[in-house]
Amino acid sequence: MTNHSDTTGPFENSGISGPEPATGPSAHDTQVTLRTPAELADALPYLLGYRPEDSMVLVALHDRGGPGRFGGRARLGIPASEEDWEAAARQLARGLVTGSERRGTRPEQMVAYVCQEPARGETGRDVKRRLERLAHLLRVACGDLDVPVIEALCVSDGRFWSYCCPTAGCSPDDGSPMGLPGGSRGRRRRRKRPRTRKRPSGSRARRQGRTGRRSSQQRP
């Protein structure tokens, strides 16, 4: 899938607002092809412009027959009561699909994310298990709108889990570590800074200047 800057505004807890107009690619935009759950998990902060917390997120996908590209994005805070999860999932899915249709670009597929940090005494794996029903509700809500979810991810405690893993071994019980920002997965690229020499200031500079002049006068 290719990352284009076709973005809707975020949907907040106070209710889903209308999507902002899509913006076209700018000169500094880069296209990134994402194929794996790991790459999709790492891309989320870049797709939204921030790292979501305590959030449920949907990302629309277009051009199913081609390389694929990202469309609108939508976010809602995870309701504290599980009784509200189904309504929130339907609201999020309906808002993103309706907003995309208004721009003439109905999503063909979706990627779903549930993001939450562990509470005291919890682990990321506990969060993954607790939010599994919410991820399922997001998939059902999108499916009811004829937009299948091709990947559903849980992001917690610096790790991610896939709810759509086709085999038992492709998503470890303890999750997989998120990639580090600014470099390839598992490796941070550091730019070497050129060494600079500090300039002497104040009385120290004046003393060095006088010493230099005396040395030059003593030379034959």
pLDDT per position as a tens digit, 60-92: 998 776 666 888 999 999 999 999 999 999 999
> What is the Cα–Cα distance from 105 to 165, expressed in whole angstroms?
28
Average pLDDT of the segment spanning 46-54: 92
- pLDDT, residue 36, reads 84
- pLDDT, residue 207, reads 57
Q: Report how far apart the first and last C-alpha atoms of the chain are (Å, whole number).
A: 75
CB burial readout 19-47, b (16+ within 10 A) else e:
beebeeeeeeeeeeebeebbebbbbbeeb
Q: What is the DSSP string of 35-93?
A: -SHHHHHHHHHHHHSS---SEEEEEEEE-TTSS-EEEEEEEEEPPSSGGGHHHHHHHHH
Is the pTM for the entire model greater than 0.85? Answer: no
Q: Give the model's confidence band at 110: pLDDT under 50 very low, under 70 low, under 90 confident, else very high.
A: very high
**CA quadruple 137, 140, 145, 146: dihedral positive or negative?**
positive
pLDDT of residue 55 exceeding 60, the answer is yes
Q: Give the model's confidence band at 182: pLDDT under 50 very low, under 70 low, under 90 confident, else very high.
A: very low
Q: Is 3 in a helix, a strand, or coil?
A: coil
Per the structure block, which two tokens stand in for 203? 């009385």
Asked whether 57 and 75 are in contact (CB, 8 A), the reply is yes
Average pLDDT, the chain: 75
**Which residues have C-beta within 8 Å of that of residue 195, sequence separation ≥ 6?**
none
pLDDT tens-digit readout, 121-173: 999 999 999 999 999 999 999 999 999 999 999 999 999 999 998 766 677 88
